[in-house]
Amino acid sequence: MPIYLDHAATTPLRREALEAMQPWLTEGFGNPSSVHSFGRRARAGLDEAHERVSRSLGVTPREIVFTSGGTEANNLAIKGAAWAGKGRGHRIITSSVEHHSVGHTVRYLEKFGFEVVELPVDRYGRVDPDEVEAAITPKTILVSIMLANNEVGTIQPIAAIAERVRRHRGILFHTDAVQAAAYLEVDVAALGVDMVSIAAHKFEGPKGVGALYVRHGTNVLAQQQGGAQERYRRAGTENVAGAVGLAAALELAVAERPAVAARLRTYRETLVERLRTIEGVQETGHPTERLPGLLSVVAAGLDGNAVTIALDLAGLACSTGSACVSGSGEISHVLAAMGFPEDEAAGALRFSIGRTTTAKEIEEAAGLIAATIESHREAATRLEAQRAAALARPLAAVAPEATSE
């Protein structure tokens, strides 16, 4: 049976979420905006989903906006806040290690006159809260820093950053909690943020649905027009079944979080201890302030894509980093921002453990990973030796000797 260690890319849909969704895929098919009984029933299901998600996050139902996923939630938060605040300023502060749904979005806004400040990170991938405050000017309207990194697992000091941001009036603070929501407590009051993005498929909910928390009173300009859905913040017929599935999966993830996080932390430590014995393998990310089940390493001198493919053929699914860029041949912008040279970053590997992972799978995975890395390293060493030997040999005659006719 193949071993799946790519839960940071997506998670399997859990049975309870599927069962919660099924009635809304069949007899509960009505449009929530319709006034007849079919529509009213769908509206009731959608309203309940708002309530259940709001309880899980400690907010009110009207502060939840359902979206098509984490990418749309990030786009709505950043573009919506930017355009709503354009009259007051144009400066947006973010970090150099954000997910592309944040990084590419702020770069897009630069085309329309917004100024983007991309803050550096330390060698563990952490942003300095004091540098955030130092970057704030009277024209700053938005700060967006992720809660936990999707490639290396580093947790950002969001509460400390929020405290700096709150010293300055009129600045909104958004955090991308897509990778964090399953494993960290997302208490918006404690975090001190105005907007939070989550995605169902990261915590065993369905793909194609996410949510954005928008603090009551926060002005966000809708990025999708055509209807009054989601309190005029996101037009379009709502995905009732998806919203219900997200709500069910999030409730279970929150309830099980302490036990699951503890188990994942143990599994991760088992895996990392084995990999630490392999020459040239280096763990990335913060040593303690990190997601419990995400292990990121670089294997110096190796091609991470080649190792990932070899592991897949051996029955182990993992990745080189973000699922949005894996296989593209690009070097991770996260590792580059953390100071890893290109030859090391090229050997990136990400193993992400989930609730359904077993201890037996971790033991088998440890052996497979070690054997595959060592095999590729031996092959690379042989190839290098062959190249060196070829360069050391005398050059062959470039032309045959002249002969008499």
Contacts with 382 (C-beta within 8 Å, 6 or more apart), sequence order:
none
Catalytic residue among 159, 255, 324, 379: 324
The model's pTM is 0.92
Answer whether CATH 3.30.70.270 is correct for domain 257-389.
no
Please, how many CA atoms are within 13 Å of residue 274, restricted to the half-sphere of its CB? 19
What's the CA gap between 207 and 403, in Å, rounded? 75
Distances (CA, A) of 44 to 48, 74, 134, 209, 394: 6, 27, 47, 18, 82
Quote the tokens at residue 3: 């071993």
pLDDT range class, residue 403, cuts 50, 70, 90: very low
Q: Domain residues of the chain, as ranges?
A: 13-253, 257-389
Helices and strands in the chain: count of H runs, count of E runs: 13, 12
What's the CA gap between 81 and 220, in Å, rounded? 5
362-372 average pLDDT score? 96
Q: What is the pLDDT of residues 78-103, one digit of tens each?
A: 999 999 999 999 999 999 999 999 99
pLDDT value for 380: 67
For residue 131, the surrounding DSSP H or E stretch is helix 129-135
Q: What is the pLDDT of residues 293-348, one digit of tens each?
A: 999 999 988 999 999 999 999 999 999 976 555 445 578 999 999 999 998 999 99
Of 114, 54, 64, 70, the closest CA to residue 88 belongs to 114
* 226 Rama class: left (phi>0) / alpha (psi -120 to 50) / beta: left
Which residue's entry shows tokens 């699951």?
260
Q: What is the pLDDT of residues 157-170, one digit of tens each?
A: 999 999 999 999 99
CATH architecture classification, 13-253: 3-Layer(aba) Sandwich (3.40)
Amino acid, single-letter form, for residue 187: D
The yes-or-no answer on residue 318 being catalytic is no
Residues making up the chain, counted from first to last = 405
Of 67, 60, 391, 104, the closest CA to residue 243 belongs to 67
What's the CA gap between 294 and 351, in Å, rounded? 6
pLDDT value for 385: 67
Same fold, 13-253 and 257-389: no
